[in-house]
Structure 1
């Protein structure tokens, strides 16, 4: 496959994941904080892809790969939070309430966002949206790296 075809595929992959996320949001699945974190690198990957198609600079393909790897890593982290493997940010997870006073607990509940990062809102084949994002994003990394190999001197 030619370099520009690979870049287009990786760029369209990130664009499709962004559109899918917005589609789920439109259907009523409000994103949590970590869901939003995963969107930014996809946006960057799309911009790097457009730039790499216009100017054949090898570093742009590496930047696209790094953006896809970043959102994939955030997806793995988010999956771990959803599955209870580790604790997520206190601003969007239930966290530990041991030793909190009633007033502190009430204040934390009242300040908490409506969408929690440690709950799976939707899943397919046992994988959450964060898990699917991670898997597809790492596949996009491989496509970006293949494009880089075709453009490297």
Structure 2
């Protein structure tokens, strides 16, 4: 078994699944807030980096490059998990969420334009969870998912290939 190949492939699959789930929930009507969108960025970047890592892992040359890429992916997912912790804490009112979370501020010159904007704009707050699944919001679920992705990436760096004894 080649841990680097397996880890790179699993991270790539994990990124694609995370993005597909996020977009699926969005299409189902759960609009993302500013922090939700920020939590997607590591998966978008991670997809591209995981493709490169998998390419290096499959060639079995420059294994150190694969290790560096997997280590970078682990850091990227820790960053995404930290954003999730911040948002989950704001949802549970442990601390305040960002001041600018809730939608863009536009300049309005007259009252009728303001009423039109209010009727057309759906504001999504970072401090109010859209849904809870098993007691966890999307931010809380992302924290757990990010921890798992970090673990997989680190396993690819730290585990050694198993040698067949025959």
TM-score by length of 2: 0.76
Deviation string 1:35-60 (CA, Å, 9 cap, x unpaired) is: 00000011111111101011241211
* 1:34 partnered with 2:35: yes
Please tell me whether residue 59 in structure 1 is matched to residue 68 in structure 2.
yes
Shift of 1:16: 0.8
Count residues in correspondence.
135
Unaligned 5+ segments in structure 2 are 58-64, 103-117, 161-166
* Cα RMSD after superposing both structures: 1.9
Deviation at 1:123? 1.1
Q: 1:103-122 residue pairs with structure 2 within 5 A?
A: 114-122=123-131
> Any idea what the Cα deviations from partners look like across 1:12-68, whole Å, max 9, x if unmatched?
112211111110100111100000000001111111110101124121111111111
Residue ranges of structure 1 left out of the alignment (5+ in a row): 94-109
Return the offset for 1:113. Answer: 6.8
Q: For the residues of structure 2 that align with 1:14 and 1:36, how far apart are their CA atoms?
A: 14
Partner of residue 137, structure 2 = 128
- Check whether the contact 1:92–1:117 (CA below 8 A) recurs between aligned residues: yes
Give runs of ≥4 in structure 1 deviating > 2 Å: none
